[in-house]
Amino acid sequence: MMQAGAQLRRLMFSMSTLEELGEVLSARSNFRENLRTALWSLMGTVPVSRGALLLHDARRRTLTLEVARGVTLSPGLQVPMPPPVARALCRLRRPVRAASPPPAVSRLVRGSPLFGAMAAALVIPLRFKAELVGVIAVGEKYTGAPYGAADDELIMVMANYIAIGIHNQELLRHLESANTKLRRKVAENRRLYRDLEGIYADTVRALGAAIDAKDPYTRGHSDRVARIAVAVARALGLPEAEVNALRIASHLHDVGKIAVDTGILQKPGRLSDQEMTQIHRHPTVSYDILSNIAFPYPDVALIARHHHERIDGAGYPDRLGSEALIPGIRIIAIADSFDAMTSDRPYRPALDLEEAIRRIREGVGVQFDPAATRAFLAVLRDEVSGSAPDPAIVPGLTRHFPAAEVAERLAGIVTELDTFAARP
């Protein structure tokens, strides 16, 4: 619980820093100041006390120390950077452990007095497309814990972000003597910044995985809910901003489970009233956490708060009825329930697909919104019958099912629901 909590806090911190970093790195202000902010942000996210940022000059074949913190090295210090090593570092796309570097880059990491002097533990490539723009080196973590895969993932999201910024700043610096071609490149890079979606998606997915990691039964749950919800939202023709909000909310809807005892989440038997009350708090906690983050799309926190509401008003935490539920909520409710039904849970094994479909059908107009259910079942029908080019639901199923029979059953229910909707 402690570990998942710390990881969450870290990811949340990095999400807000990324946004600020974007503004700083695309500003025309003092270049070195911007690099310092970038390095500080990355160090604060890990967190570490020693770090240095070096820029790569491909023509001079050197790395030059620009800014450092917690180490007694002066800016301007240089490290030779032979082109094959720069290319190898670029191709790695992950931080290098200074204690065990891959052979292609070991000459740089082991042979350079700079990394030794600062007791670097990680050497992180900063790359823009196939070009090495610089390197960040950091020491051991504050906690003394070893670096793991989750650290690597988070660090690379930030490093890629910083690299785009450096590349853009360098172009800006050369802009004085610019021609139109260069101006076009700067504009292209600025667009890259405005398009934060990729970086957001990575961070949000990492955050969702951290939530699921708390409970082995929910591993992969957030990711599957997001895939299902997005497919249904697209089928219903929701605007792209609402689809993106729903994707983020789906990854993060259960973040409030961080406040629920792991013992309760994994309890195999019946829950007491008191335990149930604890479980029922998680959407409100999700809301409290997420409403502090400035997402680029509206209603993310709201969708997470209401993912357990029902259209008959018997859900929780606010017992909202049908009218109060925006489309994103109606969709996530069905995606979340379906994935819970078809996954193993501490108190029962996964239901087979036919049984899950029967329960979903039974819930129409009571628990689930008819239009969202119809769209969901139609997407599932196309996937089961093999006519969907990019299936979102079926790849998440673990139990075998008779495809032809299930497809026929689904087609029948979809027609039934069409009649239901057409009724005056």
Q: What residues are annotated to the active site?
A: 257
Name which of 39 and 351 has its Cβ closer to Fe ion: 351
* CA-based nearest residue to 356, from 371, 330, 377: 377
User: To the nearest whole angstrom, how small is the minimum distance from the Cβ of residue 331 to Fe ion?
Assistant: 14
Nearest to Fe ion by Cβ — which residue?
254
- Strands 51-57, 131-138: pairing is antiparallel
Answer for the pair 172, 28: CB distance below 8 angstroms, yes or no: yes
- What separation in angstroms does the CA of 397 have from each of 148, 234, 345, 350? 29, 21, 14, 9
User: To the nearest whole angstrom, how small is the minimum distance from the Cβ of residue 340 to Fe ion?
Assistant: 8
Q: Which stretch binds Fe ion (CB under 5 A): 235-243, 246-254, 390-398, 404-412?
A: 246-254
Tokens representing 36 are 């310092």
Answer for the pair 341, 364: CB distance below 8 angstroms, yes or no: no
Answer for the pair 325, 368: CB distance below 8 angstroms, yes or no: no
User: To the nearest whole angstrom, how small is the minimum distance from the Cβ of residue 263 to Fe ion?
Assistant: 17
Within 10 A of 218 (CB to CB), how many other CB atoms are there?
A: 21
User: To the nearest whole angstrom, how small is the minimum distance from the Cβ of residue 311 to Fe ion?
Assistant: 17
Name which of 17 and 218 has its Cβ closer to Fe ion: 218
Answer for the pair 375, 330: CB distance below 8 angstroms, yes or no: no
Tokens representing 406 are 């299930």
Name which of 66 and 254 has its Cβ closer to Fe ion: 254
Residues near Fe ion (CB under 5 A), total: 1
User: To the nearest whole angstrom, how small is the minimum distance from the Cβ of residue 95 to Fe ion?
Assistant: 34
Q: Which stretch binds Fe ion (CB under 5 A): 45-53, 115-123, 191-199, 250-258?
A: 250-258
Contact between 299 and Fe ion per CB under 5 A: no
Name which of 71 and 228 has its Cβ closer to Fe ion: 228
Applying CB under 5 A, among 151, 212, 254, 309 the residue interacting with Fe ion is: 254
Name which of 212 and 254 has its Cβ closer to Fe ion: 254
Answer for the pair 257, 282: CB distance below 8 angstroms, yes or no: yes
Contact between 140 and Fe ion per CB under 5 A: no
Contact between 151 and Fe ion per CB under 5 A: no
Q: Which stretch binds Fe ion (CB under 5 A): 122-130, 171-179, 254-262, 385-393?
A: 254-262
Q: d(Cα 397, Cα 52) in Å, to the nearest integer?
A: 46
Within 10 A of 139 (CB to CB), how many other CB atoms are there?
A: 20
User: To the nearest whole angstrom, how small is the minimum distance from the Cβ of residue 148 to Fe ion?
Assistant: 27
Name which of 254 and 309 has its Cβ closer to Fe ion: 254
* CA-based nearest residue to 186, from 171, 198, 199, 203: 171
DSSP 423: -
Q: Where along the sequence are the contacts to Fe ion (CB under 5 A)? A: 254
